[in-house]
A and B are shown apart, each in its own frame.
Chain A
Amino acid sequence: MLAKRIIVCLDVKDGRVVKGVKFVNFRDAGNPIDLAKYYNEQGADELSFLDITASYEKRKIIIDIIRKVAKEVFIPLSVGGGINNIEAIRKLLNAGAEKVSIGTAAVKNPNLVKEAAKKFGSQAIVLSIDAKRKNNSWTVYINGGREDANIDALDFAKKMEKYGAGELLLNSIDRDGTKKGYDLELNKRFSEELNIPIIASGGAGSLEDIRDVLTIGKADAALAASIFHYKKYTINDVKEYLRKNGVGVRI
């Protein structure tokens, strides 16, 4: 059976990995290529690069990083952050990314998802949603989680699935950075209502959190950053734990 995936997220700013990396014991802990190799060796199933570079001119740096990582790391690579046109997607895929994730741009221009899926295939297009609880449902936040787009997240995800999004990266704003565990209800609900794989994001703090989102939360993959960067657990720790708890993983 298909294994549940453990995905490591690397936040990249101006070509350097930021957030938490000072705890990784490297001489050059911010080097994205070294970190990618490090997590690949540990058994990561996929690497997710989030480009948080603010200046437009420096955005081509991420393309160069992907090109270099793809020469040495032979697992799927995905890239997200500010991607808003076909040309940018093409460049990243040609550089060696397996997939790109589209967030704010999908809200502002849903046809981008349709067009990109048609051009590059659904498997290359990940819809990224920053979801925040609102009454009994979830609303979509855009611009790095700063602005409420006032769109029902589940309706939007269903529409984007129809438009050809191949996966959903579902980030809980309520849980992001809290280490209180993933939003299980959010993941379960979306996983039951959608027919594309769900990558759970936001809130991982313990081994149990990861197990729960992949079982109770029915997510297909769990993405985490800080628990790995801060060396609380290695990827192998997580996978061994999951395997002992009956969750199929690639070891």
Chain B
Amino acid sequence: MIAIIDYGSGNVNSVKNALDCLGCYSVITSNPKEILEADKLIFPGVGAFGDAMKELKKRKLDGAIKSFIESKKPFLGICIGLQVLFEESEESPNVKGLGIFKGKVLRFKKGKIPQIGWNKISSKTIGNGYVYFVNSYYPVPEDKGIIESTSDYYIKFTAAVKKDNVFATQFHPEKSGKFGQEILRKWLNAG
């Protein structure tokens, strides 16, 4: 079973729709027990870094996500779901992230903010092509080895990270047309 974390802020249905179309059954949940029992976990975060962490803590989902990741089962983070894996963000200076990865999340300094639209990624394993971004912030991992994809928005930035059982994208594969579906399909088939 695939669990999609819902913490009340965003539209998680689009992720579920994308999985349905790929023939994968998933449940939307905010129940830590259900999350720990899942075979695969997706966290499509939205909103601000600080708000997301606050909501996760309130629902005791921060511990559930960490335990899930420690169990080595496949985890996919999307957008804020990627950012909270890091230690901190310029968006919410006094809030600690989950700290799965060392590094921080920075704000774009140039161009229109947020970046909204299709941008090209270059990747190690998930392919190159256009994906849909909506972001004002981007991750800067300390360990450059975890960088899976990069893109350019007045600066070269990390668009996806991958390490062991954790895969996370700054872009929205569920809104990235056929290429996005392909990325999701590969992730689903890999684990």
The reply to whether chain A is a binding partner of chain B is yes
Interface string of B100-140 (1 = CB under 8 A from A): 00000000000111111111100000000010111000000
In the complex the two chains form, is A76's CB within 8 Å of B132's CB?
yes
Which among B118, B132, B178, B181 has the greatest number of chain A C-beta atoms within 10 A?
B118
Q: Most A CB atoms within 10 A — which of B17, B115, B120, B153?
A: B17
Where chain A touches its partner, the secondary structure class is loop
Asked if B26 is at the interface of the complex by the 8 Å CB criterion, the answer is no
Q: Which residues of A from 100 to 123 have beta carbons under 8 Å from B?
A: 121-123
* A210 to B116 CA separation, bound complex (whole angstroms): 19
B contacts with A: majority SS: mixed
Residues of A within 8 A of B13 (CB): 70, 94-96
State whether A5 touches B152 (Cβ < 8 A).
no
B residues contacting the other copy or chain, number (CB 8 A): 32
Given A2-B117, A2-B119, A94-B13 in contact, is the A74-B134 Cβ separation under 8 Å? Answer: no
Q: How many residues of A contact B (CB 8 A)?
A: 28
CA distance A76 to B18 in the complex (A): 13
Residues of chain A lying within 8 A (CB to CB) of residue B63: none
> Is B44 in the interface zone, CB < 8 Å from A?
no
Q: How far is the CB of A99 from chain B (nearest CB, A)?
A: 9
Enumerate chain B residues within 8 angstroms of A45, measured Cβ to Cβ: 117-118
Question: Which A residues touch B114, using CB under 8 A?
Answer: 122-123, 166
A250–B129 alpha-carbon span in the complex (Å): 8
B177 A74 Cβ-Cβ under 8 A: yes
Question: B114, B116, B177, B181: which has the most chain A beta carbons within 10 Å?
Answer: B116
Interchain CB contact (< 8 A) of A2 among B11, B14, B115: B115
Determine if A206 is an interface residue (Cβ-Cβ < 8 Å).
no
**Closest-CB distance, B28 to chain A (whole angstroms):** 12
Residues on B with C-beta less than 8 A from A220 are 112, 116-117
Q: Is the CB of B17 within 8 A of A197?
A: no
Q: Mark B146-170, 1 if CB is under 8 A from A, else 0.
A: 0000001100000000000000000
A-B contact pairs, 25 of them (CB 8 A): A2-B111, A2-B115, A2-B119, A3-B117, A3-B120, A5-B118, A45-B117, A45-B118, A74-B18, A74-B174, A74-B178, A75-B176, A75-B177, A93-B11, A95-B13, A96-B14, A98-B175, A121-B46, A123-B116, A123-B134, A166-B116, A195-B113, A197-B117, A220-B117, A250-B130
Across chains A and B, which 10 residue pairs bring their CB atoms closest together, nearest first? A250-B130, A250-B118, A123-B134, A3-B118, A2-B119, A71-B17, A2-B117, A5-B117, A197-B116, A75-B177
| A interface residues (Cβ-Cβ under 8 A, vs B) | 1-3, 5, 40, 45, 70-72, 74-76, 93-96, 98, 121-123, 166-167, 195-197, 220-221, 250
